[in-house]
Amino acid sequence: MSRLGTVEEGEERGTLLAAMYFFFALASYFILRAVRDAAGVAAGTDKLPWLFTGTLVTTLLMNPVYSGIVARLPVRRFIPIVYRVFIALLLTFAAIIKYGPASWEPFLGPAFWILTSIYSLFIPSVFWGFMADTFRPEQSKRLFGFISVGGTLGALVGAFLTSRLAQVVGTPVLMVMSVALLECAVQSVKRFPPSFRVETRQRDEAKRSVGGSSLAGITHVLTSPYLLGICAYMLLFTIGSTILYFQQAEIVGARYADREARTAFLASVDTVVQSLTILAQLFVTGRVIKWVGVGATLAIMPVLSLVGFTALGTWGTLAIFVVFQVLRRAGEYAFGKPAREVLFTVVPPEDKYKAKNFIDTFVYRGGDQIGAWSYAGLSAAGMAVSSIALLAAPMSAVWLVVAFWLGARHSRLEKGE
């Protein structure tokens, strides 16, 4: 462990349990991811903006409810509650898909797409808030890459199982498998060792919540330049991701007509992404963040996107799109995501759960919304895939500036300035 992730004495159990927790959480989600994406392809690109709108509105409504739970319950109690709410919803959908009438299919697809999109944000957001509240800033630079390996392995297993079983067992069984894995994540939380932070450990021992109000996640973001900077970074990332998602829907929809075939293909792409990611997380991520700093690590994604969108706009072939998509997603998991989570280790406990969740859900989906409707408008105006990609390249240059500003600000906050 020391050779791979620079894990120091006394950190082994917490690091391994964190990796296990993340493994189960992402394995659960990646079983559902290909099913969701296949539903998005089936809906068509003309319906996707409305699905993004439904997700945005739902996350805005859910955030005060979630923040209210955080304000009233101890961390290690509210995390199982949040996860088991999703378990109940997934089991309900599985039963309806299995036993409901075929006439419900046009409504089930969009509803499941929205639920899974929210799931994809809430589950890891709660996890990383817990990690930022458990590990000290210095530890996070060394360990978050190694911990991310657990999530990557989980994503790899989830994608692999889906690609092999989607056409054999069907969607309802896949959803039950996802539920079982999420319950394993709950059990990992219950067995987690005491926090490495003194203030967090004292709060846990006293069984106190982080306190505050149900609207703190929103108000704190609006009054903090640092949190607003994280919002800007998140928005620019998600707008680019949404542009690529729409292009994926067009390309895959034209190539594969059968839903299970689309699911299997998308799961196979996930398998390649996660295989590449795990190598970087095991041998590179922790050392890169420690050696070059948070700002430079955050800059990797904007640089990759600037080059990728330019290449896609210039040549526009399927091969370029696949390579760009794989490298961009692998870069996000290996560098962008761990570095972004390190940013939250220097904010107060309340912001680790409430403000972070608001950014990870509403702001994230806000970027989706901007990207979705912009793409729809540009497509309606007759712009081709390559032309839209060229428009996204300058946005990546702005994103690069934000990355370096956040890195400098994080360094000052870590020093108490």
pLDDT at 165: 82
Beta-carbon-side half-sphere exposure of residue 151 (alpha carbons within 13 Å): 24
What is the distance between the alpha carbons of residues 337 and 82, in angstroms, rounded to a whole number? 22
Identity of residue 159: A
DSSP secondary-structure letter at 195?
Answer: P
Burial category of 191 from C-beta neighbours within 10 Å (exposed 0-12, middle 13-18, buried 19 and up): exposed
Neighbours of 78 (CB within 10 A): 19
pLDDT at 5: 55
Dihedral, CA of residue 368, residue 180, residue 330 and residue 130, to nearest 10: 80
pLDDT at 116: 87
Asked whether 136 and 10 are in contact (CB, 8 A), the reply is no
Q: Which domains does the chain have, with CATH numbers?
A: 9-191+214-414 (1.20.1250.20)
pLDDT at 401: 96
What is the distance between the alpha carbons of residues 361 and 396, in angstroms, rounded to a whole number? 21
* 3 state DSSP class of 2: helix
Asked whether 199 and 90 are in contact (CB, 8 A), the reply is no
| E-strand stretches of 203-354 | none
* 3 state DSSP class of 192: coil
Of 121, 119, 94, the C-alpha closest to 108 is 94
pLDDT tens over the chain, length 417 residues: 666 657 888 898 999 999 999 999 999 998 888 777 766 656 555 676 778 788 888 888 888 889 999 999 999 999 999 999 999 999 998 888 888 777 776 677 788 888 888 888 889 999 999 999 999 998 998 888 889 889 888 988 888 888 788 778 878 888 899 999 999 999 999 999 999 999 999 999 989 999 888 889 999 999 999 999 999 999 999 999 988 888 777 767 666 767 667 767 777 777 788 788 888 888 888 788 888 999 999 999 999 999 999 988 888 777 787 788 889 988 998 899 999 999 999 999 999 999 999 999 899 888 888 888 888 888 888 887 778 888 888 999 999 999 999 999 999 999 886
pLDDT at 283: 80
pLDDT at 107: 73
pLDDT at 36: 75
